[in-house]
Amino acid sequence: MNPSVLSIENLSVDYLVEPVVHAVRNVSFELRRGEVLGLAGESGCGKSTLAYGIVRLLKPPAMITSGRAVFHSRDGLEIDWNELHAEELRANRWEKISMVFQGAMNSLNPVISIRDQFEDVFATHRPKMSRKQRRDRCAELLERVGVDPGRLSSYPHELSGGMRQRVMIAMAMALEPPVMIMDEPTTALDVVVQREILREITRLRDELGFAVIFITHDLPLLLEISDRIAVMRGGEIVELGDAAELYTNPRHEYTKQLLASFPSLTGDRGSFVRGAMDDRLLALDAVEVEAPS
């Protein structure tokens, strides 16, 4: 079993409104080095709030009220994310933990070219890199995610949805962090582009060895790509286990309901998710296309 790279310990997040909303309640789990941990649950259950809490990107009225997130480096150093000051956060964020946000068009600056947005990252975190080194690295990153480096001069609105999502993944990988959090990275993408993105994530994880927290409401998708899955409901993790075990032998009633909510294309109405999963995997595996240039 791989050692942990990130420990979430009794993390709670409240929205300080009237009345107070307890969005995340005493969540604990371990992210192992190099694994894909899926985080599933219905809309509004607290998945994205948990992700933003881990990297401390919450905005008022949201606030971490208890618990902590601890990053474990390879040399045995532990970093308590909640204890970092603003400058320390800026130095460690993207270096240790990066995030692919939901909705790439809203995450990229619409009036700055892709090249300039990449180079801003290196100017901040790698100030000793020469201009040529930065440009070479930008081109390398786009090639890694299957995008023509010629697109570096493009603006976000000039790229397709799939390309923008690939650019966001490349930016998250720019500093080679050991942990990447992906918040619904395939939302609103068609099944062909979704398949391409998932293949790239899997390939890059295998190649570079980073760990992933993959957030989505699409449980069949997580069953396909995850090593382990955490099921979240009402701000709490109600079940956490091996993906194959959760698929064949779900323990919590909510997990069973979530699995059964995905209808099969061929089975009877209300049938168990197995038929839906088989249909989905067959459909996705049948999609064989090249990455867009």
Q: Are 243 and 227 in contact (CB under 8 A)?
A: yes
Distance between CA atoms of 225 and 214, rounded to whole angstroms? 9
Tokens of 47: 């998945």
Determine the pLDDT at residue 134: 93
DSSP code for 139: H
Identify the bridge partners of residue 36 per DSSP, sorted by sequence position: 212
Q: Which amino acid is at 174?
A: A
Distances (CA, A) of 62 to 15, 26, 101, 286: 4, 15, 18, 43
Q: What is the pLDDT of residues 72-94, one digit of tens each?
A: 998 889 999 999 999 999 889 99
Determine the pLDDT at residue 293: 38
Counting as low any pLDDT under 50, the low residues of the chain are 269-277, 280-284, 287-293
Q: Kindly report the CA angle at 100 between 30 and 229, in degrees rounded to 5?
A: 35
Determine the pLDDT at residue 50: 97
DSSP code for 8: E
Q: Which domains does the chain have, with CATH numbers?
A: 4-96+177-285 (3.40.50.300)
CA 65 to chain centre: 23
CA 27 to chain centre: 17
Q: What is the pLDDT of residues 229-258, one digit of tens each?
A: 999 999 999 999 999 999 999 999 999 998
Model's pTM, two decimal places? Answer: 0.87
Determine the pLDDT at residue 266: 60
Continuous segment of H or E residues that includes residue 66? strand 62-72
Distance between CA atoms of 215 and 226, rounded to whole angstroms? 11
Q: Kindly report the CA angle at 185 between 179 and 189, in degrees rounded to 5?
A: 160
Residues 6+ apart with CB under 8 A from 160: 193, 292
